[in-house]
């Protein structure tokens, strides 16, 4: 009735596209939030087989899920709360992002408990005002790290930050701040193997800032990181297709109200088709009356409110019957609306669209590793 189809071969192809864009740089595949809704384990296994260099997740729990699933590729987790399981993370050979002195001290304690050297990546806040050490605290954090390296408790693998993607001027200011922080760390006796700053958008826009590693998230799943550019412009293949089957069609007279609140009324005698997907599956309710879907390669606007379980489209006099496939989004090259199209209708971004999909969708994979 409702299907999410994940093309893992497309994800591998997108990985190779970014390898060409950032020659010489390692690729960190960002698989946080269930791999942006695409399936954490399935995506990770596919990319491990494709010899990706690193995985990136937000938190330790996600990293431990990868290890529990048998994933051996290096994993970096960078967003921590005061109760995170650092001891388990160090024992599982998970790299940990460090944003402040308190986190560093707790990671060192985990190293003492496990008897293993903890691998860390120091994060400096270069202007995003989110996770990371402030510029003022940076020298203290670096000096403490150097001391712990001397005690053989930690290994500093990387230094990283994150761009705001506000404007080229703002991004360039952040790149300069990052370079300065790296140089300051060198002056304090800390040199690292991996500098990483750019994500999908930065990897495309600032190749001079790709350094030793780039972090690829939304682009890995075939989506453009730019609202005004398509996936095809960057040779990316969207990996997720959301579709369902028409469950009922009915002929109605002019003036018939359509679903809750009569958001629309029919202008003439017409055929309405019912589609069993709603906000329980992640379809944004605020796309009601704006988003379009495709049946038999023709676009139709969602006329009704998007309810918990369903929405209604007006197909006029077209020959649409129960059982016809309805494509909510997918690859525009196949004639489907894109995740960008749905995002525009919902006043959001394609990142959110794919990540929120779930509910009662049946998920299947193309190109899965057995």
Entry pTM: 0.96
**355-367 mean pLDDT:** 97
| C-beta atoms surrounding 12 within 10 Å | 20
Check residue 98 and report its DSSP letter.
Answer: E
Tens of pLDDT, residue by residue over 119-128, are: 999 999 999 9
pLDDT, tens digit (0-9, with 9 covering 90-100), for 1-10: 899 999 999 9
* Long-range contacts formed by 175-181: CB under 8 A, 24+ apart: 175/126, 175/206, 175/209, 177/124, 177/126, 177/127, 177/135, 178/124, 178/126, 178/209, 181/124, 181/126, 181/135, 181/138
All structural domains of the chain with their residue ranges: 8-221, 240-366
Query: What is the predicted pLDDT for the residue at 369?
Result: 83
Domain 8-221 fold is TIM Barrel (3.20.20)
Cβ contact 295:244 at 8 Å: no
Distance, in Å, from the CA atom of 361 to the CA atom of 125, rounded to the nearest integer, reads 39
pLDDT at 131: 93
- Band of the pLDDT at 260, cuts 50, 70, 90? very high
Name the fold adopted by 240-366: Lyase, Ornithine Decarboxylase; Chain A, domain 1 (2.40.37)
The single residue of 186, 250, 260, 262 carrying the catalytic annotation is 260
H-helix segments, the chain = 8-21, 32-37, 40-49, 60-68, 86-91, 101-114, 138-150, 168-187, 200-205, 339-345, 350-356
Please confirm, yes or no, whether 32 is among the known catalytic residues.
yes
Fold equal for 8-221 and 240-366: no
Check residue 83 and give its pLDDT: 86
Sequence-distant contacts of 16-20: CB under 8 A, at least 24 apart: 16/50, 17/219, 17/234, 17/235, 17/236, 18/200, 18/203, 18/214, 18/216, 18/219, 18/220
Q: Which pair of tokens denotes residue 181?
A: 């922080």
Percent of the chain with pLDDT over 90: 98
Catalytic residue among 32, 46, 119, 123: 32
pLDDT of residue 370: 75
Q: Is the pLDDT of residue 96 over 90?
A: yes
Tell me if residue 260 is catalytic.
Answer: yes
Q: How far apart are CA 54 and CA 44, in angstroms?
A: 10
Q: Which residues contact 311 (CB under 8 A, 6 or more apart)?
A: 259, 274, 275, 277, 278, 283, 288, 302, 304, 305
């Amino acid at each position: 009735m409702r299907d999410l189809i994940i093309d893992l071969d497309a994800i591998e192809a997108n990985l190779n596209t970014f390898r060409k864009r950032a020659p010489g740089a390692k690729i960190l595949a960002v698989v946080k939030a269930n791999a942006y809704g695409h399936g954490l384990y399935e995506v990770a296994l596919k990319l491990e087989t494709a010899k990706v260099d690193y995985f990136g997740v937000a938190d330790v729990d996600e990293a431990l899920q990868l290890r529990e699933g048998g994933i051996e590729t290096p994993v970096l987790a960078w967003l921590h709360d005061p109760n995170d399981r650092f001891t388990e993370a160090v024992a599982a050979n998970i790299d940990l992002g460090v944003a402040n002195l308190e986190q560093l001290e707790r990671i060192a304690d985990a190293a003492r408990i496990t008897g293993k050297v903890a691998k860390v990546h120091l994060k400096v806040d270069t202007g995003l005002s989110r996770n990371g050490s402030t510029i003022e605290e940076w020298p203290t954090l670096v000096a403490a790290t150097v001391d712990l390296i001397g005690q053989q408790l930690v290994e500093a693998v990387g230094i990283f930050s994150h761009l705001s993607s506000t404007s080229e001027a703002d991004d360039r200011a952040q790149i300069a701040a990052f370079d300065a922080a790296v140089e300051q760390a060198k002056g304090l006796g800390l040199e690292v193997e991996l500098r990483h700053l750019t994500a999908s958008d930065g990897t495309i826009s600032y190749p001079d800032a790709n350094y030793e590693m780039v972090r690829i998230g939304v682009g890995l799943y075939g989506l453009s990181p730019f609202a005004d550019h398509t996936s095809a412009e960057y040779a990316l293949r969207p990996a997720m297709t959301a579709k369902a089957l028409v469950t009922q069609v009915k002929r109605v007279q002019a003036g018939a109200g359509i679903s809750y609140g009569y958001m629309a009324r029919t202008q003439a005698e017409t055929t309405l088709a019912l589609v069993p997907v709603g906000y329980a599956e992640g379809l944004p309710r605020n796309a009601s009356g704006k988003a379009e879907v495709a049946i038999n390669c023709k676009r139709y606007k969602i006329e009704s409110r998007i309810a918990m379980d369903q929405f209604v489209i007006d197909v006029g006099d077209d020959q649409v019957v129960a059982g016809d496939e309805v494509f909510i989004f997918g690859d525009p090259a196949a004639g489907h609306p894109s995740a960008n199209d749905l995002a525009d209708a919902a006043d959001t971004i394609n990142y959110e669209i794919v990540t929120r999909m779930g509910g009662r969708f049946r998920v299947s994979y193309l190109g899965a590793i057995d």
